[in-house]
Amino acid sequence: MSLLRVEGLRTSLTSAAGIVRAVDEVSFEVAAGETFALLGESGCGKSMTALSLMRLLPDAGANVGGRVLLDGRDLLALSEAEMRGVRGREMAMIFQEPATSLNPVLSVGRQIVEVLERHTTTQGAAARRRALELVDAVGIPDPARRLDEYPFQLSGGMKQRVMIAMALAGDPRLLIADEPTTALDVTIQAQVLELLGQLQRDRGMGMLLISHDLGIVSQLAQRVGVMYAGELVEVADRQTFFASPRHPYSRKLFAALPRPARCGGALETIPGSVPPLTTIFTCCRFADRCPSAWARCRDEVPAWHATTDGHAVRCHLYDQRAGIGNQEEGSRSQIAGDQVAGSRASPLLQGEAPLLEVADLKMHFPIRKGVFKRVAGQVRAVDGVSLGLTLGRTLALVGESGCGKTTAGKAILQLLRPTGGSVRFGGEELTSLPQGRLRALRAEMQIVFQDPYGSLDPRMRVGDIIEEGMAALGTASDRAARDRRIDEQLERVGLSAGMRGRYPHEFSGGQRQRIAIARALAVEPRLLVCDEPTSALDVSVQAQILNLLKELQASLGLAYLFITHNIAVVEYLAHEVAVMYLGRIVERGTVEEILRDPKHPYTEALLSAVPRIEAEAGRPVIVLRGDMPSPANPPPGCHFHPRCPRAMPECAVTFPSATRLSESRSVHCHLYR
């Protein structure tokens, strides 16, 4: 018998637009010791399904149908008092954002003890000892000290580990993990995924994994369910699903992934958006976005069609009785055609001389203490970075959060005045330019920020947002010229000129990021600093933005400094890569050199930690222990030596100078002296 059995679950939310059918007739099973993954875009109902199982819906939500059987007991029939005994003890949940899930005014130990005292017989001193064991079990260093610290004193990876410790405190039989690694770097993500897998094997837990990352699903899950617009559209075991996804939506998700083989062409995108869940559907929900849709798809709700290997799909293409099963092959060949390998295209306007030259850039922030705020130390956020970039090229700056990537980008643009070093743009030294000349150069170097929600003024219309920069920098002669430029830029980034009168809240996340790109392009820059522009986006929306950036570079000859921790994006978009660790560049070279044959131990660990869909038998995963040291107190010598599996005595003494391995490649490591 299954540990968890969900039968026809329906969840509705009351809104001003009507009844939102967030979860609609969803059914699946999870066995003990098995991981079942729910996969899909944001807004498809994954998290709402998890909250429905836990009976943690918002005030406007209600479970309106179906059954949730945990060990044969229907959770939807329990009273709230009875359900409180189930949460934490029989089933537990790891929430997506640990920073908002932990109580900021209670110590870590107090929060874990609270779970133990509520759901087990362990009390008092024994509960604290058990909390210490749990903190140690999830791999938090120095657990005795961390137990008395508060959430704000912990890194993102540590906070997520505390959430795991709290979830495991009641020894649940079912664990629900809602995007457990979304906010984490790939190295910390690798630690958390290894931990979850080991704990599941040791305890024999069932796990419901919610994710939009195909790589993570491939690594952790035994079975996969794909959700779209509130319903499941495909269910299969992992091997079958990744070998041959059958629903057109699933195939589109795979085709939208940036991969090296697709560098020469555009990524597959999914036109349109998820339909509003206030709709009463009388047809296939994916029909308006499906390349294989036909008349029946718009007239009739598709039924489930199962095959002998346990692969089930909700799609008319697989209804053999209707005699149209052969359309599957046409759809499959179309998707395959989108995946033809290409070469990394050369930009049209690659310059000979460097557009940007950065030498020994430093950005130190003073630490002030005492009544008189005397300087007691320095945070070395950027500590001697050197790089160069030419027109028509993309340099990817990669590394973990906190390594100084964003600070370096802002210092290059003089949004932060560097503490030291040189930044030459088009032959001019930016660090010593007077404000008037620097202001005139602003039009030639722009930035696209990570968060499209926070970087656009919510009180301004889109047209005014784009016009503001042009008016301030004098890049258009009059209002009529600016109006024409606004319309041109909106059309260029894939929006319509008629949208200029709308406010940012009326657009999706991907559309907001397009508006941010249009604003930057309106002043005709030569250099664009892209700070994690796709990190908050679904894979299909990410594909749209990457296609747009590649097209703009090819047509306008833009130079991109692309700040990211997404290696797949680097493989697709970049020409060169610089790997950053604790304020310093540790390795640099072309994409092919760095990603195919990493030399620095940190680069090796960074690349090995990336979850990949492709089967890579024997590919070692280097799991780094501990967290990145503080830039306020960096280790002596090579900053990476406390975490390096190949550290030597001299690594703790001196920072290695650059060793040039080829004309385009260098590495800072004693292994290559």
Q: In the 8-state DSSP scheme, what is residue 341?
A: -
Q: What percent of the chain has pLDDT over 90?
A: 57
Please state the φ and ψ torsions of residue 332, each to the nearest 5 degrees. -65, -40
Q: What's the pLDDT tens digit per position in 231-283? A: 999 999 999 999 999 999 999 999 888 876 677 678 888 887 788 899 999 99
Answer whether 571's CB lies under 8 Å from 258's CB. yes
Write down the pLDDT at residue 267. 87
Assess if CATH 2.40.50.700 describes domain 356-610+623-672.
no
Identity of the residue numbered 246: R
Write down the pLDDT at residue 183. 61
Is 261 exposed, middle or buried, given 0-12, 13-18 or 19+ CB atoms closer than 10 A? middle
Q: What percent of the chain has pLDDT over 70?
A: 93
pLDDT band at 616 (very low <50, low <70, confident <90, very high): very low
Write down the pLDDT at residue 28. 96
Nearest residue to 137 via CA among 171, 182, 93:
171
Domain ranges (residues) in the chain: 100-171, 248-338, 356-610+623-672
DSSP, collapsed to helix, strand or coil, labels residue 100 as helix
Write down the pLDDT at residue 417. 93
Structure-model confidence comparison of residues 629 and 38, the more confident one: 38
Write down the pLDDT at residue 536. 66
Angle at 563 between CA 491 and CA 658, to 5 degrees: 140
Write down the pLDDT at residue 36. 96
pLDDT surpassing 70 at residue 173: yes
Mean pLDDT along residues 562-570: 88
Identity of the residue numbered 111: Q
pLDDT surpassing 80 at residue 188: no
Counting Cα atoms < 13 Å in the Cβ hemisphere of 530 gives 32
Write down the pLDDT at residue 370. 83
Is 284 exposed, middle or buried, given 0-12, 13-18 or 19+ CB atoms closer than 10 A? buried
Q: 3-state DSSP: the chain helix, strand, coil percent, rounded to 5? A: 35, 25, 40
pLDDT surpassing 80 at residue 413: yes
Secondary structure, 3-state, 207-224: EEEEECCHHHHHHHCCEE
Mean pLDDT along residues 633-659: 93
Residues 490, 496, 500, 503, CA torsion sign:
negative
Enumerate residues 6+ apart whose C-beta is below 8 A from 436: none
Enumerate residues 6+ apart whose C-beta is below 8 A from 29: 2, 4, 5, 6, 36
Mean pLDDT along residues 314-321: 85
Write down the pLDDT at residue 451. 78
Answer whether 395's CB lies under 8 Å from 576's CB. yes
Q: What's the pLDDT tens digit per position in 275-314? A: 889 999 999 999 999 999 999 999 999 999 987 678 999 9
Write down the pLDDT at residue 337. 39
Q: How far apart are CA 368 and CA 377, in angstroms?
A: 7
Q: Tokens 């660790």 label which residue?
A: 581
Write down the pLDDT at residue 619. 60
Query: What H or E segment, with its residue span, contains residue 85?
Result: helix 80-86
pLDDT surpassing 80 at residue 447: yes
Answer whether 94's CB lies under 8 Å from 166's CB. no
Write down the pLDDT at residue 467. 94
Mean pLDDT along residues 147-154: 90
pLDDT surpassing 50 at residue 546: yes
Lowest mean pLDDT among 24-28, 179-183, 282-286, 382-386: 179-183
Q: What's the pLDDT tens digit per position in 85-102? A: 899 889 999 987 777 889
Our measurement of the distance from residue 11's CA atom to the centroid of its chain's CA atoms, rounded to an integer in Å, reads 27
pLDDT surpassing 50 at residue 543: yes
Identity of the residue numbered 510: G
pLDDT surpassing 70 at residue 328: no
Mean pLDDT along residues 309-333: 66
pLDDT surpassing 80 at residue 593: yes
Residues 666, 188, 540, 505, CA torsion sign:
negative
Query: What H or E segment, with its residue span, contains residue 409?
Result: helix 405-412
Lowest mean pLDDT among 192-201, 340-349, 364-373, 529-538: 340-349
Write down the pLDDT at residue 347. 37
Please state the φ and ψ torsions of residue 400, each to the nearest 5 degrees. -75, 160
Write down the pLDDT at residue 1. 64
Write down the pLDDT at residue 349. 39
Average pLDDT across the chain, whole number: 87
Write down the pLDDT at residue 604. 93
Write down the pLDDT at residue 348. 37
